[in-house]
Amino acid sequence: MPWWMNMVDQPKNVFVYSRGMDEYAYPPQIPFDTSRAAKTRKILNSMSLLSGPDRMEVVPELPNRSILEKFHSARYLDTLEQTSAGRFSYEFFEMGLGTGDCPIFRHLYDYVTIATGATITAAKEILAGRAKVAFNPSGGFHHAHPSRASGFCYINDVVLGIMTLTDAGKRILFVDIDVHHSDGVQEAFYDRPDVLTISFHQSGRTLFPGTGFPDEMGTGDGFGYSVNCPLPPGTYDEVYMDAFRRIALPLIEVYDPDVIAIEIGADALAGDPLAQLRLTNNTHADIVELIRRFHKPILATGGGGYHIDNTTRTWALCYATLCGDSHPVDHLAGMGGVMMQSSEWQSDHTSATALRDRVLMPDQIHQKKIPPLVDAVIDEIKKNIFPIHGLP
């Protein structure tokens, strides 16, 4: 019997959410929308996908300061808390605070700590054997660094959630399908072999944060445990899925983690205003289904996603898939999304399949241009990373 089933008879699918999180918001000019979690929950609830004997909702616990200091510096946390309360100093500029993507606003510290607490709570539910899947849609702040905010991210909940698991002696494989490179998470575990990070993202040559190239492979004992697959603008479902199958699946198999963590950023969807990949949510759901088949506990977070309707529908679909409610039976069944640039789907339908996008066919230019570029990246990763893990 797996370790995670030893403590209770039936671990559940856990949705981590607090209505109190709805009280906080970034400034209106910032595209990061904190209401996405509530809207995701509303979709799931309307389709009766939150209830049942195999699932439950959990209210997050607030993390204490000592937990936050496992990754972030005390000086940074002090400054973040003080500026959030309206007490400013010149120090916050050097910490990435007060910028266009990391503004200071009232109750900022309260929001980011409870969002972080939700991911830590999800990790604890897995460790306690109460959850086989735990999803925090408010999480995914993968750009935050120990003493610097970046890319809408102030406290790195992903790092702290994974640390909760590694502190208990668990080996973690982290997959990030957000369109931006997971630079903060990579930094945290760059020299450690107990966390294998795999990031699929639009190339840093064309998108923030300008990192995440195949030669960023880790250091010391962690050499070979940092895997980056940068993708060209215009990458579409078929090519992305081919890269995932050829890179991630063999590494997950050979690494054999105790827990799989995944950031389900939805900003790789076609039509997202901040990026240029051209995925439909079929890719997100199919990746989640492939990961589910490894029969490991899964810690999932949200992440980016700035077309709000498409993002919340994708997260609802992915959570339903994690729970075993959706299968890739007919991609043409989707009633809206990126193909129609709308969220017109059959909301009265009880099947999660109704949340899927229609197929978005690439044009001939992209069909000719994109595959060779992605193949070159895959070949480089297989040449440099795979031998370290005994893969051909």
CB 263 within 8 A of CB 301: yes
Here the tokens at position 3 are 């370790």
Question: Is residue 209 reached through a cis peptide bond, with omega within 30 degrees of 0 on the bond before it?
Answer: yes
Neighbour order of strands in the sheet with 195-202: 55-58, 12-16, 131-136, 298-301, 259-263, 172-176, 195-202, 226-231
Query: Looking at residue 145, what DSSP letter applies?
Result: B
Q: Residue 140: left (phi > 0), alpha (psi -120 to 50), or beta?
A: left
Could you say which of 72, 143, 307, 331 is catalytic? 143
Here the tokens at position 297 are 């506990």
Exposed, middle or buried by CB within 10 Å (0-12, 13-18, 19+), for 281? Answer: buried
CB atoms within 10 A of CB 151: 22
Distance CA 231, CA 240 (A): 8
CB 181 within 8 A of CB 204: yes
CB 40 within 8 A of CB 137: yes
Active-site residue, 143 included:
yes
CB atoms within 10 A of CB 368: 10
Distance CA 211, CA 221 (A): 21
Ranges of beta strands (E only) in the chain are 12-16, 55-58, 131-136, 172-176, 195-202, 226-231, 259-263, 298-301
CB 164 within 8 A of CB 124: yes
- Residues identified as active-site: 143
